[in-house]
Amino acid sequence: MALSDAPQFGPATALSCRECGTLYDLGPIFACSECFGPLEVAYDFGDVRREDIESGPTNIWRYRALLPVPENVATKPNLQPGWTKLIKADNLAAELGLRSLHVKDDSGNPTHSFKDRVVSIALEAARAFGFHTLSCSSTGNLAGAVGAAAARAGLDSCVFIPANLEEAKITMAAVYGGRLVAIDGTYDEVNRFCSELIGDELGEKWGFVNVNLRPFYAEGSKTLAYEIAEQLGWRLPDQIVIPVASGSQLTKVDKGFRELIKLGLVEDRPYRIFGAQAEGCSPVSAAYKAGHDVVQPVRPNTIAKSLAIGNPADGPYVLDIARRTGGAVEDVDDREVVEAIRLLARTEGVFAETAGGVTVGVLRKLVRNGALDPDAETVVLNTGDGLKTLDAVAAEARPTAVIRPSLEAFRTAFAN
Amino acid sequence: MSVSVRIPTILRTYTSGAAEVSGDGGTLREVLQKLDVDYPGIGGRILDETGKIRRFVNVYVGEEDVRFTEGLDTPTPGGSQISVIPAVAGG
């Protein structure tokens, strides 16, 4: 399927193997047939100006000139995600001892996680390739994002999740009317199943957003980098803490920052990227600490289910980037995740899901162990909404008192 | 020991399009060596120059990712199902 010259992909020109550089025509392929390396989108951007971006819509399509999407993407039926708040988090900064901290709050997306960004790019690719069904393997957030995007676009959907997910994520994945298949296994087993389905006639004409559309899908995470830079006044942060599941998001935020530098849209200055994992699923953190450049898979056991990928495909790149930029990869245990969720809620009024607890928990740990510079401009990502993982804090976030509706009862309850 | 090997789409050029082929060997290493004899060149796509499994490919014997077991020394008893799958990401 040679679509290199097709206008559906805007400035994108080819797919290129991240390992060996072999080039392929833009198509629904994701692995290099030479070395199995992941394929990523290559571009010819031409001249991109701040003014053109600033006059665009208040969603990710303001960056369409930097994405593999058609020029008229903003007029098509899609979820128009992004342009989420970059919150100046002075209270949290003071509590942690940081001079300047922002929280990029991606719970503000249409399905309440950053996944709307990536799915929206994959959706355009699915349209271009003539797929009728949108699909994915998911740890929860992605399944909801795919269901919603397919509904908006008028496509069928069939999404696959591990059966033991949080109730809210199962409900959100099912409510949009597509097929939801729960698999008795871990995310990694669901992922493997989807990889086999894709080579089978059962999966004919299906766009698996994070498998055969993955090169397109993954580009959506670059918009986090673009937005953070633009919202800081066209400046890169000095240091940023990003959650690591597959490692794709962290890898693409780095790619986004480098593109902005290359295009002259921000000043070329060093930045440091830190990865955050939950201790119960920390294969990348373990590899970082051990000095390895490959990742030994693990069996996940953590409340941070959206990050519970035991065999992270982009793990090696996370290691490369953390080391190249002078960052690190760190992990926190489930108790620290819960504490961090409450800390962020208490200090900034932001209710994060467990993945956000992981990043804020790791932020706190990195400040304490001296890995983060307390005087440097810092950004931390919250990638999802706390309403999706209520169980994590439900036992602790309870009424202060239960009383009869009388002033006397209130006075008595709060006498001390 | 006779085993069956599932071939991913991008390697089916070596197997004339076959999604599943039969193999032989007491360990994964032996199975892959025999596979490369039957389908010359396919071994070099799964293993790198140093003979290790490439970092973006996952190999399963039965349900088990061999990185959890004994890697290339993982036993492959008769009737084993071996799957070779490109690593994918996302969540």
Answer yes or no: do A290 and A362 share one domain. Answer: yes
Answer yes or no: do A185 and A273 share one domain. Answer: no
pLDDT band at A4 (very low <50, low <70, confident <90, very high): very low
Does residue A211 fall inside a structural domain?
yes
Share of chain B above pLDDT 90, in %: 69
CATH number, position A258: 3.40.50.1100
Does residue A406 fall inside a structural domain?
no
Report residue A63: phi and psi, to 5°.
-105, 20
* Pairs of residues, one from chain A and one from chain B, whose beta carbons lie less than 8 Å apart: 103
Q: Is the CB of residue A31 less than 8 Å away from at least one CB of chain B? A: yes
Quickly list DSSP for A356-402.
HHHHHHHHHHHHHTT-S-TTSEEEEEE-BBGGGGTHHHHTTS--S--
pLDDT value at A6 more than 80: no
Helix (H) or strand (E) holding A54: helix A50-54
Q: Which residues of B fall within a CB distance of 8 Å from A38?
A: 56, 87, 89
Three-point CA angle A275, A278, A279, nearest 5°: 115
- Please answer yes or no on whether B55 and A217 come within 8 Å at the CB atom: no
Answer yes or no: do A250 and A342 share one domain. Answer: yes
Tell me the per-residue pLDDT of B36-57, one tens digit each, with 9 for 90 and over: 999 999 999 999 889 999 888 8
In this prediction the ipTM stands at 0.77
Does residue B59 fall inside a structural domain?
yes
pLDDT value at B25 more than 70: yes
Q: Which residues of B fall within a CB distance of 8 Å from A34?
A: 45
Half-sphere exposure of A365 (CA within 13 A, CB side): 24
Asked which of A202, A217, A232 is the last residue of a domain, the reply is: A217
Three-point CA angle B28, B32, B36, nearest 5°: 170
Does residue A405 fall inside a structural domain?
no
Residue B88 in tokens: 């994918």
CA distances in angstroms from A125 to A12, A46, A73, A80, listed in the order given: 11, 22, 11, 15
pLDDT band at A2 (very low <50, low <70, confident <90, very high): very low
| Segments forming the whole domain that contains residue B9 | 2-86
Does residue B91 fall inside a structural domain?
no
pLDDT value at A1 more than 50: no
Answer yes or no: do A300 and A370 share one domain. Answer: yes
Share of chain A above pLDDT 90, in %: 85
Residues 270-299 of A with CB under 8 A from B: 294, 296-297, 299
Taking the CA of residue A349 and the nearest CA in chain B, the distance in Å comes to 26
The mean pLDDT of A373-397, rounded to a whole number, is 96
Tell me the per-residue pLDDT of A35-77, one tens digit each, with 9 for 90 and over: 888 899 999 999 999 999 999 999 999 999 999 999 999 999 9
DSSP bridge pairs for B81: B4
List own/partner pairs for B68-75 with CB under 8 A and 24 or more apart: B68/A297, B68/A299, B71/B28, B72/B27, B72/B28, B72/B29, B72/B32, B73/B27, B73/B28, B73/B29, B74/B27, B74/B28, B75/B26, B75/B27
Answer yes or no: do A333 and A273 share one domain. Answer: yes
Does residue A399 fall inside a structural domain?
no
Does residue B50 fall inside a structural domain?
yes
- Which one, of A379, A345, A121, A118, lies nearest residue A243 by Cα? A379
The mean pLDDT of A205-216, rounded to a whole number, is 94
Answer yes or no: do A228 and A337 share one domain. Answer: yes
| Segments forming the whole domain that contains residue A334 | 86-112+221-394
Tell me the per-residue pLDDT of A156-185, one tens digit each, with 9 for 90 and over: 999 999 998 889 999 999 999 999 999 999
The mean pLDDT of A6-24, rounded to a whole number, is 91
**For residues A366 and A361, what is the distance between their CA atoms, to the nearest angstrom?**
9
Does residue B10 fall inside a structural domain?
yes
Report residue A182: phi and psi, to 5°.
-90, 130
Domain count, chain B: 1
Answer yes or no: do A188 and A141 share one domain. Answer: yes
Answer yes or no: do A264 and A293 share one domain. Answer: yes
Does residue A374 fall inside a structural domain?
yes
pLDDT band at A296 (very low <50, low <70, confident <90, very high): confident
- Please answer yes or no on whether A138 and B67 come within 8 Å at the CB atom: no
pLDDT value at A288 more than 70: yes
Q: Is the CB of residue B52 less than 8 Å away from at least one CB of chain A? A: no
**For residues A360 and A341, what is the distance between their CA atoms, to the nearest angstrom?**
7
Does residue A404 fall inside a structural domain?
no
Quote the mean pLDDT of chain A: 94
Domain count, chain A: 2
Answer yes or no: do A149 and A121 share one domain. Answer: yes
**For residues A186 and A167, what is the distance between their CA atoms, to the nearest angstrom?**
16
Q: Is the CB of residue B49 less than 8 Å away from at least one CB of chain A? A: no
Answer yes or no: do A108 and A119 share one domain. Answer: no
Does residue A75 fall inside a structural domain?
no
**For residues A143 and A151, what is the distance between their CA atoms, to the nearest angstrom?**
12
pLDDT value at B76 more than 80: yes
Answer yes or no: do A290 and A349 share one domain. Answer: yes
pLDDT band at B89 (very low <50, low <70, confident <90, very high): low
Does residue A72 fall inside a structural domain?
no
Answer yes or no: do A100 and A167 share one domain. Answer: no
**For residues A268 and B61, what is the distance between their CA atoms, to the nearest angstrom?**
48
Tell me the per-residue pLDDT of A339-368, one tens digit each, with 9 for 90 and over: 999 999 999 999 999 999 999 999 999 999
Q: Which residues of B fall within a CB distance of 8 Å from A211?
A: 88, 90
CATH number, position B7: 3.10.20.30
- Which one, of A310, A386, A383, lies nearest residue A142 by Cα? A383
Residues 213-232 of A with CB under 8 A from B: 214, 217-218
